[in-house]
Chains A and B, each alone.
Chain A
Amino acid sequence: MSNATIIGVGETRHAARRDDVTTTELAWEAVSAALADAGVELDDIDNAVTASQDFWEGRTISSMAVNEVVAGYLRPESKVAADGAQAVMYAWARIAGGTYRLGLVLAHCKESAADPHAVEVAAMDPYVLRDLDVDETVAAGLQAGLLGYPAELRAAAVEAATRRSPWRDPVDASAVLASPGIASPLTALERAPLVDGACALVVAGDETLAALGRTGVRIAGCGSATDPYWTDRDLTAAPALGAARDAALAAAGWDGLPEMVEVAAPYAHQALMWGGEMGLGAPERVVEHIGGPGSPRGGWLGGTPGVVAGLSAVAACALALREQPGRAVAHGATGILGQSHHVVCLEAA
């Protein structure tokens, strides 16, 4: 069995509208940066796992757009229709099992190219809910109401996240509270902005690492788990997150969480709730965590695209571990109100 080690990280500039690039070009921006960071060429890559969603891309088999920029021509690419953190888990297995030696992981999304309401309504149960025109914002409002976190605390989470973010200007809590309502009790700035972007990693097996004479950030373990559909579960809990965390920690052989934990949540109340589920403590403590060095970029609220958010969390932790070796945990989520959770344990000596 081989270790799987991250030796290259690349990420685009995430912005509201990347009209300057096609999806292919957007992906290449991240991939080429990751390849340069790793010091390898595209032709060196022997496999790729990508993450994207057909509905957001408006294209059946959305990975068609990126096949060639991940070395997919006559080589193996596979696509998870999920957050990029789950793609890391699949890529980890491909290297660890010895099937491949040098892989790319890519997540991409051009949220500006889609109608978010239509995409979210299409994720609703087609027989009952869809005709009600419910979208994820409505569902998130229901969830936030059930959780009952004070508005000031939710706003503080946004402020903390944006102060850690390389992608967004800092947003004061007062601005969050003053922003227009979108689904009671949520205001517009409590939701992560819709942006375009991509993120890529280069992952190497032990033989390749030795051949390149490189060190990197080892993927120590991964976990993933799924909860029931959002209308069939208690929206104030996310047991799948705890299950994914436990599986990842067990795979890594770790006894508990390290100080660096990046949780990717698209809504402020979810950042508080999922932080608690992860084991970061009470909501007030989670806000402190998001605003401190334990959260490299403030998670999804920091302004990454959906689908990309979890992979961006992995990338952020990997880069932070290069500066300060140790351990980190990165998280991503898939589905309405985060139905599936994915956790990645990272370690750098």
Chain B
Amino acid sequence: MGRRVAIVATGQTDHTSRRTDVNVAELAREAVDRCLASAGRSLADVDAIVLGNMEMFEGINMPDQWMASALGAVGKPLFKLNTGGTVGASTAVAATQLLSAGVFRRVLCVGYEKHSEGSVQASITTVGDPVWERAVMAGAIGNFASMASVYVDESGATEEQAAKVAVKARRNACRNPHAHLRMPDITVEQVLASDMLAHPVRKLDMCPSSDGACAVLMAGEQDAPGLAARPAWVHAAVTAHDQQFMGDSLKRLAEMRSLIAASGKAYAQAGIDDPLTDLDVAEIYEPATYAELAMYECLRFCETGGGGRLIDEGVTEMDGRLPVNPSGGVLSANPVGATALVRVAEAAMQVMGDAGEHQVEGVETALATGYGGNAWTEILILRSARP
């Protein structure tokens, strides 16, 4: 067994649709500075940096190299990962493994995206295989619409239940100063009246495109207790991918195989038998409302087909049995290269007691997920207790 690893500090920009006051490198540095300041540390305390971003979204090849000085990486190892929407969580998984092996003592994870400076949907289309899929790819929305259609058919979930997810997210976001979409007066009726983008997904069912960055400082067991009063210890860090062709996973969202596989492993590693009981909070990567309902099922928060029931019963509301996405989630802020790291950061903040107005009382165990690629999954389970 390797060394134990914990998150000791987090920092985020205020996510928004367009940050014209900063360039890409400055945006990322803002998160880095906020993270290190929150722990009273400097870049001198960082041994290595793991960066996550989607190069084609901003059209910058090897952005890590251009940004090296801004990231404080000069003279240090700089890892640049790219695994899709999962990438932010991939950086946390990589840092966990590098620290666990004792290669480094303190690693800074950074994720960013500046969607306003690129063409996201055009870039997402190039995710598809160039021979078989690209010609019929049409960005993210059509992809999620097809997924949602399958899920609705399989589960019987209703558009009202999906709309309740949108309402929960945007209301939770009102307590999160970093969230992009904060809509205190949003209603189910308003969601159902929003523009239909691609059946059954309406405008308010989808996540926004945000400019934003996130940084997370992680440390090994010899340093973590001295860097945070209440570190968020990593009890599981698991990755699982699915196949690359959509046609090979017809029920992709309704039966998200990578999420089922990864959460099963993570629960086993963390000793979790009943997630609904054993978890205190979850920050999941829900790119669309229907995805959150399906993910409840894949994560075993409820029985198969029970996602709609869970939202109807308020189980995942802030005052519910298992609050899901107190931050407002991806539906309220989505700088893709940072989004999954935001989930990890928010889960850590809940464990560390640093979540401010969206803090859930008494969090000892938190779950974070990343979603990306062709239904790929990263999952981390964090606890206040040392493993």
Q: Which residues of A contact B48 (CB under 8 A)?
A: 224
Cβ-based interface call for B158 (8 A): no
A97 contacts B97, CB within 8 Å? yes
A81's contact among B62, B73, B373, by CB below 8 Å, is which? B62
B82 contacts A61, CB within 8 Å? yes
Cβ-based interface call for A17 (8 A): no
Cβ-based interface call for B101 (8 A): yes
A223 to B48, CA, bound (A): 11
Least CB distance, A89 to chain B, in whole angstroms: 8
CB within 8 Å of B: which A121-178 residues: 122-127
Question: If A224-B77, A240-B75, A243-B75 touch, does A55 touch B61 (CB 8 Å cutoff)?
Answer: yes
Question: If A81-B80, A228-B69 touch, does A64 touch B2 (CB 8 Å cutoff)?
Answer: no
- Pick from A72-80, A185-193, A274-282, A291-299 the stretch touching chain B: A72-80
CB within 8 Å of B: which A76-102 residues: 76-82, 86, 89-90, 92-94, 96-99
A61 contacts B83, CB within 8 Å? yes
Cβ-based interface call for B38 (8 A): no
B82 contacts A54, CB within 8 Å? yes
Cβ-based interface call for A22 (8 A): yes
Least CB distance, A98 to chain B, in whole angstroms: 5
Cβ-based interface call for A334 (8 A): yes
Cβ-based interface call for B39 (8 A): no
A60's contact among B62, B98, B123, by CB below 8 Å, is which? B123
- Pick from B29-37, B177-185, B237-245 the stretch touching chain A: B237-245
- For B3, B100, B241, the residue with the greatest tally of chain A CB atoms inside 10 Å of its CB is B241
Cβ-based interface call for A322 (8 A): no
B65's contact among A94, A224, A251, A335, by CB below 8 Å, is which? A335
Q: Which residues of A contact B78 (CB under 8 A)?
A: 224, 226, 340
Question: If A59-B126, A227-B68, A240-B75 touch, does A334 touch B97 (CB 8 Å cutoff)?
Answer: no
A223 to B98, CA, bound (A): 12
- For A78, A99, A239, the residue with the greatest tally of chain B CB atoms inside 10 Å of its CB is A78
A53 to B64, CA, bound (A): 12
Cβ-based interface call for A232 (8 A): yes
Q: Which residues of B contact A75 (CB under 8 A)?
A: 239-241
Q: Which residues of B contact A120 (CB under 8 A)?
A: 61
CB within 8 Å of B: which A35-70 residues: 53-55, 58-65, 67-68
B241's contact among A74, A89, A229, by CB below 8 Å, is which? A74
Q: Which residues of B contact A226 (CB under 8 A)?
A: 65, 68, 73-78
- For A61, A94, A229, A335, the residue with the greatest tally of chain B CB atoms inside 10 Å of its CB is A61
A119 to B90, CA, bound (A): 25
Least CB distance, A143 to chain B, in whole angstroms: 15
B100 contacts A74, CB within 8 Å? no
Least CB distance, A178 to chain B, in whole angstroms: 33
Cβ-based interface call for B261 (8 A): yes
A239 contacts B56, CB within 8 Å? no
Question: If A1-B2, A339-B65 touch, does A79 touch B81 (CB 8 Å cutoff)?
Answer: yes
Cβ-based interface call for B364 (8 A): no
A229 to B77, CA, bound (A): 14
Question: If A86-B79, A229-B65 touch, does A74 touch B23 (CB 8 Å cutoff)?
Answer: no
Cβ-based interface call for B93 (8 A): yes
Majority-rule SS of B interface residues: mixed
B79 contacts A82, CB within 8 Å? yes
Q: Which residues of A contact B124 (CB under 8 A)?
A: 60
A339 to B119, CA, bound (A): 28
Q: Which residues of B contact A90 (CB under 8 A)?
A: 79, 94, 97-98
A335's contact among B62, B84, B373, by CB below 8 Å, is which? B62
Cβ-based interface call for A336 (8 A): yes
Cβ-based interface call for B138 (8 A): no
A98 to B237, CA, bound (A): 13
Q: Which residues of B contact A58 (CB under 8 A)?
A: 126, 130
B82 contacts A77, CB within 8 Å? no
* Interface size, A (range): 35 or more
CB within 8 Å of B: which A238-293 residues: 239-240, 243-244, 247, 251
Kindly report which residue of chain B lies nearest to residue A86, judged by CB atoms.
Answer: B79
Q: Which residues of B contact A89 (CB under 8 A)?
A: 77, 103
A65 contacts B129, CB within 8 Å? yes
A55 to B60, CA, bound (A): 9
B90 contacts A334, CB within 8 Å? no
B82 contacts A79, CB within 8 Å? yes
Q: Which residues of A contact B56 (CB under 8 A)?
A: 54-55, 60
Cβ-based interface call for B161 (8 A): no
Least CB distance, A45 to chain B, in whole angstroms: 13
When each residue 37-66 of chain B gets 1 if its CB lies under 8 Å from chain A and 0 otherwise, what string results? Answer: 000000000001000001111111110111
A82 to B3, CA, bound (A): 26
Least CB distance, A209 to chain B, in whole angstroms: 17
Q: Which residues of B contact A243 (CB under 8 A)?
A: 75
Cβ-based interface call for B136 (8 A): no
When each residue 75-114 of chain B gets 1 if its CB lies under 8 Å from chain A and 0 otherwise, what string results? Answer: 1111111111000001001100110111100000000000
B77 contacts A74, CB within 8 Å? no
A60 contacts B68, CB within 8 Å? no
- For A58, A65, A73, A81, the residue with the greatest tally of chain B CB atoms inside 10 Å of its CB is A81
Least CB distance, B58 to chain A, in whole angstroms: 8
A126 contacts B60, CB within 8 Å? yes
Question: If A81-B80, A225-B76 touch, does A94 touch B130 (CB 8 Å cutoff)?
Answer: no
B75 contacts A97, CB within 8 Å? no
Kindly report which residue of chain B lies nearest to residue A335, judged by CB atoms.
Answer: B65
Q: Which residues of B contact A78 (CB under 8 A)?
A: 81, 83, 90, 93-94, 239
A223 to B79, CA, bound (A): 12
Least CB distance, A19 to chain B, in whole angstroms: 13
A1 to B97, CA, bound (A): 12
B65 contacts A99, CB within 8 Å? no
Cβ-based interface call for B258 (8 A): yes
Least CB distance, B147 to chain A, in whole angstroms: 17
Kindly report which residue of chain B lies nearest to residue A227, judged by CB atoms.
Answer: B74
B59 contacts A122, CB within 8 Å? yes
Please list 13 pairs of residues, one from A and one from B, whose beta carbons are closer than 8 Å in the complex, sorted by A's number. Answer: A61-B373, A76-B241, A77-B239, A77-B241, A78-B239, A81-B80, A89-B103, A93-B101, A122-B59, A122-B61, A227-B75, A240-B75, A251-B103
* Ranked 10 nearest A-B pairs via Cβ: A97-B2, A97-B101, A76-B239, A97-B100, A335-B65, A224-B77, A122-B61, A93-B101, A123-B61, A55-B61
